[in-house]
Structure 1
Amino acid sequence: MDTQHNTALTRALAEVPGPLPTRGVIHITIPHTDRFTVVGNHLAQHPDLSCTAVGLAVRIQSLPQGTEISIKALAARCREGEKRIAAALHELEAHGYLQRFLHRLPGKKVATRTVFCNQPAELLRPRSQMPAPVPIPVSVPIPIPVPAQPQPQPQPQTRAHPQARAQAQAQPSAQPPAHAPKSDPEPAPDPNPDPEPEQAPAPPLPPASLPVPPPPPPPPFVPLVPPPTAPKPPRPPLPQPSELTAELDRAATALLSDLRRHAPQFTLSEDDIRQLAPAVATWLERDAHPDTIRRTLTDDLPQPLRHPVKLLKHRLTALLPPPLPGARDLVVPARPRIVVTPFQTCDDCDRAFRSPTPGHCRDCREIREYRGEDVRVAA
Structure 2
Amino acid sequence: MDTQQITAPPCARTVASRGSAPSSGVIHVNVRHAAGFTVIGNHLAQHRGLSLVAIGLAAHIQSLPAGARIGIKRLAERFPESETRIAAALRELEATGYLHRSRLRLGDGRVVTRTVSYNQPGADSPAATPRPQTRPRPSAPPPHAARPSEPVHAPEPHRPLPEPAGACAPGQAPKPPAPLPVTTPQPGLAAPATPAPQTQPAPVLVPPPTARIAPPPPLPQPQVPTQELQRAASALLADLRRHAPQLTLSEHDINILAPGVAVWLERDAHPDTIRHALTHDLPVPLRHPAKLMRHRITALLPPPLPGAQDLAPPARPGALVIPLQNCDRCDRAFRSRHPGHCRADLPAAA
TM normalised by structure 1 equals 0.42
